[in-house]
């Protein structure tokens, strides 16, 4: 009998990836599953990035790269931070990784000791809690209600701080709620961090460019807390490069050095071809993403128009990312052909079986009353999905 580690057994499978796995398997069996489970753009990677990758292969960029990434790429990332976010970093403060997921794991594993507390506002992205647990840390969840657009206030943050608090992790734009913190709301959080200089903040800004309210605001812009903030970003979402695997972080030098050391023992530098291609992405004017962002906004409105016609569903109006996160708890306890919907998981399985739509249950995001719809799909697909969704919910009986 294989004895797996306690660490592994304490870990939940990523619910986003689990649903993607189940829908792939059903598709392979010939079922016409509409997958709105995985958060990834449905656009192809832009041609200029693909061309850069082809050039890199032809120019024989086939060897290991420096662990934190090519110097030229880290310079370009530093330029990107200055150009888009007004943040001053040098390349020594930047570590490029195999996805933002690895950047987050590098930071948490570098900083968290067993018993350290990490404050995480809920709803949160699925992997934060599991990565903190892997490091032996204690996730301290602070709930943000739909009435506060799923964003916590400085006073909520402050009330959760104890002498054991080591870190704060959040995303804006947020996965799964699509909420975007305004500059004033971030300032409110920064004031708390200012009072607690030993607490670090990981600001996950991977949806930076998918923002429907104009500009993106970074937590690190507040100079009094600049060294306490670790900014994580990546190429996956803005540049439709989820499979290429490139994320990066910017932090004060000791944290960047620590992440470099950890990464050197786990994976080394990320894929050389991806890094060369990402150089062109970092140089590109984000204005070229305008069209993609407009199209996401149209899709948000389309899916919301269906949700708003279902009286039992409550949903916020997201201002970023590409997710809707409706509260579907009114259906809990309802049934179909003798099968009761006890929770969001039952509802997602029902929607998968009866409506052929793959969504993700909110419990992995710390919000068990909700389900997540990723609307990164064509309008035609979304219409079909939402018609099937509406019909399936109408078949449930109280
Ligand atoms: N943070 C958030 C909030 C995400 O939704 C994701 C999923 N892409 C990641 C980090 C990780 O992204 P990747 O590893 O593809 O860069
Ligand atoms: N981040 C995406 C999501 O939330 C991709 C899956 C994952 O990395 O967990 O669906």
Domains of the chain: 6-44+289-394 (3.90.1150.10), 47-284 (3.40.640.10)
Q: How far is the CA of 170 from the centre of ligand 1 (A)?
A: 12
- pLDDT value of residue 170: 98
- pLDDT of the residue at 45: 96
Q: pLDDT tens digits for 329-366?
A: 999 999 999 999 999 999 999 999 999 999 999 999 99
What are the tokens at 40? 């990834």
Does the pLDDT at position 20 exceed 90?
A: no
Helix segments in the chain, DSSP class H: 6-9, 15-28, 47-58, 71-85, 100-111, 126-134, 154-159, 183-195, 253-266, 272-283, 290-307, 344-355, 379-394
pLDDT band at residue 67, thresholds of 50, 70 and 90?
A: very high
The average confidence (pLDDT) of the chain is: 96
Against a cut of 0.85, is the pTM above it?
yes
CA of 103 to the centre of ligand 2 (A): 14
Is residue 15 pLDDT above 90, yes or no?
no
Gap between the Cα atoms of 372 and 323, Å rounded: 7
Ligand 2 pocket check for 14: Cβ under 6 Å: yes
Once rounded to an integer, what is the mean pLDDT over residues 268-287?
A: 96
Residues whose CB falls within 8 Å of the CB of residue 225, separated by 6 or more in sequence, listed in order: 190, 193, 194, 201, 219
Residue 203, ligand 2, Cβ within 6 A: no
Q: What is the mean pLDDT of residues 231-253?
A: 97
Strand partners, 324: 373
Asked if residue 19 has pLDDT above 90, the reply is: no
Question: Residue 243: which pLDDT band, with cuts at 50, 70 and 90?
Answer: very high
- Which tens digit of pLDDT belongs to each residue from 77-127? 999 999 999 999 999 999 999 999 999 999 999 999 999 999 999 999 999
Mean pLDDT of 370-383: 96
Whether residue 194 has pLDDT greater than 90: yes
Q: Which two tokens stand for residue 87?
A: 């943040």
pLDDT band of 287, cuts 50, 70, 90: confident
CB 231 within 8 Å of CB 251: yes
> Is the Cβ atom of 38 under 6 angstroms away from ligand 2?
yes
Q: Which ligand is nearest to the CA of 174?
A: 1
- Asked if pLDDT for residue 325 goes beyond 90, the answer is yes
Instruction: State mean pLDDT over 190-219.
Output: 96
């Amino acid at each position: 009998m294989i004895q797996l580690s306690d660490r592994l057994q304490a870990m939940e499978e990523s619910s986003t990836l689990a649903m993607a796995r189940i829908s792939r398997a059903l598709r392979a069996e010939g079922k016409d599953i509409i997958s709105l489970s995985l958060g990834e753009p449905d656009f192809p990677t832009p041609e200029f990035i693909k061309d850069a990758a082809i050039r890199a292969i032809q120019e024989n960029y086939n060897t290991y790269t420096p662990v934190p990434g090519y110097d030229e790429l880290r310079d370009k990332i530093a330029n990107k931070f200055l150009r888009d976010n007004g943040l001053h970093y040098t390349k020594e403060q930047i570590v490029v990784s195999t996805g933002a997921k690895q950047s987050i794991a590098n930071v948490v594993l570098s900083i968290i000791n067993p018993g350290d507390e990490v404050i995480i506002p809920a709803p949160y992205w699925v992997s934060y809690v599991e990565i903190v647990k892997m490091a032996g840390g204690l996730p301290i969840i602070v709930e943000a209600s739909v009435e506060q657009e799923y964003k916590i206030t400085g006073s909520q943050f402050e009330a959760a701080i104890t002498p054991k608090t080591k870190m704060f992790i959040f995303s804006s734009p947020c996965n799964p709620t699509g909420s975007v913190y305004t500059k004033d709301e971030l300032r409110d959080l920064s004031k708390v961090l200012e009072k607690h200089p030993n607490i670090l903040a990981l600001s996950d800004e991977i949806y930076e460019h998918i923002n429907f309210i104009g500009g993106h605001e970074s937590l690190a812009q507040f100079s009094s807390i600049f060294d306490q903030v670790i900014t994580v970003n990546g190429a996956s979402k803005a540049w439709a490069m989820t499979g290429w695997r490139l994320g990066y972080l910017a932090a004060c030098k000791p944290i960047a050095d620590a992440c470099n050391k950890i990464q050197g023992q786990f994976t080394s530098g990320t894929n050389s071809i991806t890094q060369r291609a990402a150089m062109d992405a970092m140089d590109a004017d984000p204005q070229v993403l305008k069209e993609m962002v407009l199209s996401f906004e149209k899709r948000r409105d389309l899916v919301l128009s269906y949700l708003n016609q279902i009286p039992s569903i409550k949903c916020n109006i997201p201002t970023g990312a590409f997710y809707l996160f409706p509260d579907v708890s009114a259906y809990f306890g309802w049934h179909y052909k003798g099968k009761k919907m006890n929770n969001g998981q039952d509802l997602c399985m029902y929607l998968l079986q009866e409506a052929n739509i793959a969504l993700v249950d909110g419990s992995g995001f710390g919000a068990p009353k909700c389900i997540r719809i990723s609307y990164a799909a064509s309008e035609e697909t979304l219409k079909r999905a939402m018609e099937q969704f509406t019909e399936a919910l109408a078949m449930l009986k109280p």
